[in-house]
Chains A and B, each alone.
Chain A
Amino acid sequence: MTPVCELSALRPDQGVAALLPDGSQVAVFLTSAGTVHALGNIDPFSGAAVLARGIVGDRGGVPVVVSPVYKQAFELSTGKCLDDPSTGVPVHPVVVTDGVIQVGSP
């Protein structure tokens, strides 16, 4: 588990990117319901590391982040792409300890 930032640094529905020790990147989201999610930051459709900059919302009640490049939606809890279920992004485990967000390997 890598400490990434304080929970208070996150704003609801506004992702941030974080760099892990192995050089990979995660997109960390705080939803308006108060849950924290961490997904791989690389959008599989464009190859760009930008998922943290997507709009957070829901599709049919399922919380998602939408890639800012070509607008595919990824489920926050599973990383699955709702527009192309054969694709997805890795989900990283997250714990919040003493107000600090820690992210693990997928």
Chain B
Amino acid sequence: MTRTLVVVGHGMVGHRLVEALREKDVTGQWRVVVFAEETRPAYDRVALSSYVDSWDAESLSLAPHEDDAVVLHLDDKVVHIDRDNKVVRTTKGRAQPYDALVLATGSVPFVPPVPGRDLPGCHVYRTIEDLDGIRATVESARAAGRHAGMVLGGGLLGLEAANALRGMGISPHVVELGPRLMPLQVDEGGGGLLKRLVEKLDLTVHTGTSASSIEQDGERLIAKLSNGVELDLDVVVFSAGIRPRDELARSFGLTVGERGGIVVDQACRTSDEHIYAIGECANIGGMVYGLVAPGYSMAEVVADRLLGGSAEFPGADMSTKLKLLGVDVASFGDAHAKEEGALEVVVNDAVAGTYAKVVVSDDAKTLLGGILVGDASKYTILRSLVGRPVPGDPVALIGPEGGVELSMPHDAQVCSCHAVTKQQIVDVVNSGDAVDVPGIKACTKAGTGCGSCVPMLKKLLSECGVEQSRALCEHFDHSRADLFEIVRSTGITTFSDLITRHGRGLGCDLCKPAVASILASLDNGHVLEGEQATLQDTNDRFLANMQRNGTYSVVPRIPGGEITPEKLIVIGEVARDFGLYTKITGGQRIDLFGATVDQLPEIWKRLVDAGFESGHAYGKALRTVKSCVGTTWCRYGVQDSVSLAIALELRYRGLRSPHKLKSAVSGCARECAEARGKDFGIIATENGWNLYVGGNGGFTPRHADLIASDVDTETLIKLIDRFLMFYIRTADRLQRTSTWIESLEGGLDHLRDVIVNDSLGICADLEAAMEKHVDNYADEWRGVLEDPEKLARFTSFVNAPGTPDPTISFREERGQKVPVLLGVPSVVQAEVSR
């Protein structure tokens, strides 16, 4: 018989419980009813500060429970538990019987009893609604020309909140009672470096002090710190820890801990055997854990127990790795050397801005824990070695390159979000079930949580001997990026020269267009010049898009989607005179279908004479830069999006790239141009432009990510120049910007380092390359019309130029001609109606 599980609370841990139970409960023993006090389903609270990038709550959502066995009641809080009859009651008057009850009520932010803490402008930092409230305060302060903020609490959450404020354009004061930032995770040395690094980002750090009062002064707030400092503020965010939400348990007689938290045993069972508690509301082994990973472990334990298992809480791994304000911070195992006799080995490189410490046992033979600040790349492997023998000299673990080669033990956890061990990954790789990172993700879920273990997954693949071949095709062992560098550094200008010197055979439909694109990106003249014509895919070879019946479509460039009536009439006349099917595209242009090869030059003659240029709809190149109508007409616009879109489209027109490139510019945050669905999208702000990169539609739609905010037009164009050139130089063949960014070691953060902070010192070179492209641009169709030899290629038959291809025929649909499908016998209308 089906039993009923009632879950109180739909945060990340409650969500995980439902998912885990539904996955394991293959025989359908349980139906699940969830009551949530919040009005929205579970979302990724760990990533809360990223909400500031987009103000799109959707971007934080967790996978919905698409499952008939699960009912989720939002905005309906459980207020009563009748333990004798096993029924809960809710604010909306529901009475729900249960066979098992799980309390996943989470926690509330702790607000220290500072006088003035309830004043307007004071906020906590836990939910999307909290951030909306902070935003409203910040915006009204900014409208008055002010922007001063304070975060009370310099722990992990406090720095997250500071990050969110920075995302809103505020450089806050951070006030921490302890002697350093993140006192739980890092030691004095690490905390010192962390403070130096975040202060470079205009944060002001006050340690060893707290707020003694907050007072209102007109529109502003005055905070007095216990060390005598007075701060003049607009917004205050409390982020000083959490308190478990155990009031429901208290009211109905469940045991709670002295300092709060619903007391549970190792099976996460409360003092009532039918009731469990998990996550931040639970007190397990005397501890309340404010991290999501132990909460997930508890959810897994309860799912197992509900199905008759005997799982126990494995203990909490308090290891943490995060990037706060662009600074890597990690701490693992016995980070503070609390174990008796533990020895610390520290490498503190103030010049490089890195701090690393390992803690080893008194005989220096066993690794106990450690702290990494500034560079946490060794975190995954070091954490996996905790409790195991130190291979060699401990300092070599954290010394500069050339230290010991580290290998993870097999039972070590690689993915802590989904508790996946190295053995599990090695197994799916060795069995052939997974041959690449996406395969491992699909088989084991590893890498699908925070993603910090993805570099390790790649390493494990190569440890297992899986060659991640990047060879372009059978003719070249090089990746596209390698070939690009070869062509750029050697100055090779032809495919035959390249394949003779660096490849083998005759080439194929993979390497020829790829090399053609590289040659074009490096400005080697017209794409149909000489041998280059033989390298092009048919679309590039005829500078038009081939359709299913062998005819082509024609797309003239309409920069930014802006067009005069005269030019619109020309397009209409050309379409009418050549009998072309006409359709508006998604990129704010007009597509003319059904042109035969020999018609293309005649059509383009008319278009070029009227001032049109190739729209490159056929190429792996910049397609279009869409725009909304912007400040010129729109009542809401804050910048002139049309002018910018036209400028960008004209700047990057003709730029050949590994895949097609799309862009859009929106004149305000309403985002009518759908810029975040583009490879590079620009959204206007009151202070300038926000630049987003890596979006696309297609098979796997993806929103672009914010890479720079509130920049002026000149800076924006520099950043786009660098972004596009870096992409063109380093991406694989047919790799869109989104997958390219994912494939970069370090992902978006690395990309930002390269193109915003110039970490590789190549920005000037990238800009110069783009400048060269802009200077050398010439319209490809004009180039064909002016060259009789190129023009001669546009014939239907070499022995009968001008004779139409007899296999092409058209019929009419809604007043326009459409192709008669080839190889499909056409049905006589009369027979159909009979």
- Is the A/B pair a real complex? yes
Residues of chain A touching chain B, judged by Cβ–Cβ distance below 8 Å, are 2-5, 9, 11-14, 16-19, 23, 25, 28, 31-32, 42, 46-50, 53-61, 63-64, 66, 68-69, 71, 73
Could you say which of A4, A50, A63 contacts B546, with CB atoms under 8 Å apart?
A50
Could you say which of A17, A46, A56 contacts B796, with CB atoms under 8 Å apart?
A17
Which residues of chain B come closer than 8 Å to A63, judged between CB atoms? 506
Please judge, given known A-B contacts A23-B806, A61-B505, whether A14 and B542 are in contact too, CB under 8 Å. no
What string of 1s and 0s marks CB contacts (under 8 Å) between B474-505 and chain A? 11000000000000000000001000000001
User: Are B538 and A42 in contact, CB atoms less than 8 angstroms apart?
Assistant: no
User: Are B805 and A49 in contact, CB atoms less than 8 angstroms apart?
Assistant: yes
User: Are A69 and B548 in contact, CB atoms less than 8 angstroms apart?
Assistant: yes
Please judge, given known A-B contacts A17-B796, A19-B803, A47-B822, whether A58 and B507 are in contact too, CB under 8 Å. yes
CA distance A31 to B536 in the complex (A): 16
User: Are A57 and B506 in contact, CB atoms less than 8 angstroms apart?
Assistant: yes
* B513 on interface, CB distance cutoff 8 Å: yes
CA distance A43 to B797 in the complex (A): 16
CA distance A28 to B795 in the complex (A): 14
Please judge, given known A-B contacts A48-B822, A53-B541, A54-B538, whether A59 and B798 are in contact too, CB under 8 Å. no
Could you say which of A31, A42, A69 contacts B807, with CB atoms under 8 Å apart?
A42
B391, chain A: closest CB distance, angstroms: 45
Instruction: Show 12 residue pairs from A and B whose CB-CB distance is below 8 angstroms, ordered by the A residue.
Output: A5-B798, A14-B534, A16-B795, A16-B797, A17-B796, A23-B806, A42-B807, A47-B807, A48-B807, A48-B822, A56-B534, A69-B546
User: Are B508 and A47 in contact, CB atoms less than 8 angstroms apart?
Assistant: no
* B183 on interface, CB distance cutoff 8 Å: no
User: Are A49 and B550 in contact, CB atoms less than 8 angstroms apart?
Assistant: yes
User: Are A18 and B799 in contact, CB atoms less than 8 angstroms apart?
Assistant: yes
Of chain A, the residue at the smallest CB distance from B824 is A47
User: Are A60 and B538 in contact, CB atoms less than 8 angstroms apart?
Assistant: no
Could you say which of B534, B795, B798, B803 contacts A12, with CB atoms under 8 Å apart?
B534
User: Are A5 and B534 in contact, CB atoms less than 8 angstroms apart?
Assistant: no
Of chain A, the residue at the smallest CB distance from B805 is A49
User: Are B799 and A19 in contact, CB atoms less than 8 angstroms apart?
Assistant: yes
B326, chain A: closest CB distance, angstroms: 44
Of chain A, the residue at the smallest CB distance from B533 is A14
Please judge, given known A-B contacts A18-B798, A53-B541, whether A46 and B822 are in contact too, CB under 8 Å. yes
Q: Closest 10 CB pairs between A and B?
A: A47-B822, A68-B538, A48-B550, A47-B823, A57-B508, A66-B509, A16-B798, A58-B506, A13-B534, A55-B509
CA distance A65 to B533 in the complex (A): 15
B801, chain A: closest CB distance, angstroms: 10
B512, chain A: closest CB distance, angstroms: 5
User: Are A25 and B805 in contact, CB atoms less than 8 angstroms apart?
Assistant: yes
* B143 on interface, CB distance cutoff 8 Å: no
User: Are A59 and B822 in contact, CB atoms less than 8 angstroms apart?
Assistant: no
CA distance A5 to B580 in the complex (A): 31
* B437 on interface, CB distance cutoff 8 Å: no
Of chain A, the residue at the smallest CB distance from B551 is A48
Interfacial residues of chain B within 806-834, with CB under 8 A of chain A in the complex: 806-808, 821-823
Please judge, given known A-B contacts A9-B798, A19-B803, whether A68 and B537 are in contact too, CB under 8 Å. yes
Could you say which of B496, B513, B538, B797 contacts A50, with CB atoms under 8 Å apart?
B538
* B535 on interface, CB distance cutoff 8 Å: yes
B494, chain A: closest CB distance, angstroms: 12
Which residues of chain B come closer than 8 Å to A50, judged between CB atoms? 538, 546, 550
User: Are B538 and A5 in contact, CB atoms less than 8 angstroms apart?
Assistant: no
CA distance A27 to B799 in the complex (A): 12
A32, chain B: closest CB distance, angstroms: 7
* B760 on interface, CB distance cutoff 8 Å: no
User: Are A55 and B542 in contact, CB atoms less than 8 angstroms apart?
Assistant: no
User: Are A59 and B797 in contact, CB atoms less than 8 angstroms apart?
Assistant: no
A74, chain B: closest CB distance, angstroms: 12
Of chain A, the residue at the smallest CB distance from B511 is A57
Could you say which of A2, A12, A55 contacts B513, with CB atoms under 8 Å apart?
A55
CA distance A79 to B808 in the complex (A): 23
Which residues of chain A come closer than 8 Å to B511, judged between CB atoms? 57
CA distance A97 to B806 in the complex (A): 28
CA distance A63 to B823 in the complex (A): 28
Please judge, given known A-B contacts A55-B535, A68-B538, whether A32 and B807 are in contact too, CB under 8 Å. no
